[in-house]
Amino acid sequence: MPYKKIKEGLWADYSKKKTNIKKRLSEFKKKGKASNEEIFEELAFCILTANASAKMGIRSIDAIKDKIHTGTAEEISKSIKGKHRFWRIRPAFIYETREYIKEEFGNNIKKMLGSFNDPYELRDFLAANKRIKGIGYKESSHFLRNIGRKGYAILDKHIINCLYEFKVIEENKRPSKRSEYLERETQMKNFSESIEIDIDELDLLLWSRQTGEILK
């Protein structure tokens, strides 16, 4: 499909969904100003969504909200069984991440996030940290976006698919390392600039085209 058609198609869709998209983004912004507990819950949500369905993630986080701040990995695991594919390992990830933030930052996740000036250094930190478990580049970007940080590409299966169809990227393959992630992120940014749709809005737009919904 020629570039011009793609741009027109996206804009037609964007005009319809614009209100919902903006609304969702303002919710993300608001979340960023919430308590340490709520922000940690958002991080836990992202740990849960990796290679699980979005609905599974939402359903699961609701089930364990009362357990994730104080419960053991086993307790979290018990609450999530039957609601999530990876009911044994993901609670362990959440637990380990929580204990790390407790040890290093006195349970103050906002302090942790605030200790970086550069947004990409912050993401590198989250993605590369071996004690922040279950969070790679995609989920790190997802998390930061969900707490109102802007400008990151969230390169999941759906977005990669779209970008490939649009010929923005050359391979229909999820990035498996940092350099690939950054490269495709730049390509998506260039595309978003050229069609004049903000990258954060473009992410929600493309995702909604694949799934029919504007979730998180």
The residue ranges that bind DNA (CB under 7 A) are 49-55, 57, 82, 85-90, 93, 127, 130, 132-140, 142, 154, 156-159, 174, 176-177, 203, 207, 211, 215-216
Nearer Cβ to DNA, position 2 or 212?
A: 212
CB of 70 to DNA, least distance (A): 21
Shortest Å distance, C-beta 2 to DNA: 25
Q: Is 203 a catalytic residue?
A: no
Q: Which of 156, 200, 203, 216 is catalytic?
A: 156
Minimum CB separation from DNA for residue 78, in Å?
13
- Residue 50: count other Cβ atoms within 10 Å of its Cβ: 17
Choosing from 4, 66, 81, 138, the catalytic residue is 138
The smaller minimum CB distance to DNA, of residues 21 and 36, is found at 21
Q: Is 200 a catalytic residue?
A: no
Residue placing its CB nearer to DNA in the complex, 140 or 192 = 140
Q: Is the Cβ of residue 4 or residue 24 nearer to DNA in the bound state?
A: 24
Do the beta carbons of residue 13 and residue 205 sit within 8 Å?
Answer: yes
Q: Is 132 left (phi over 0), alpha (psi -120 to 50) or beta?
A: beta
> In terms of CB distance, is 5 or 159 closer to DNA?
159
Nearest-approach distance from CB 96 to DNA, in angstroms? 8
Widest Cα–Cα separation across the chain: 54
Please say whether the beta carbons of 109 and 36 come within 8 A: yes
- Measured from the CB of residue 4, what is the shortest distance to DNA in angstroms? 25
Residues designated catalytic: 138, 156
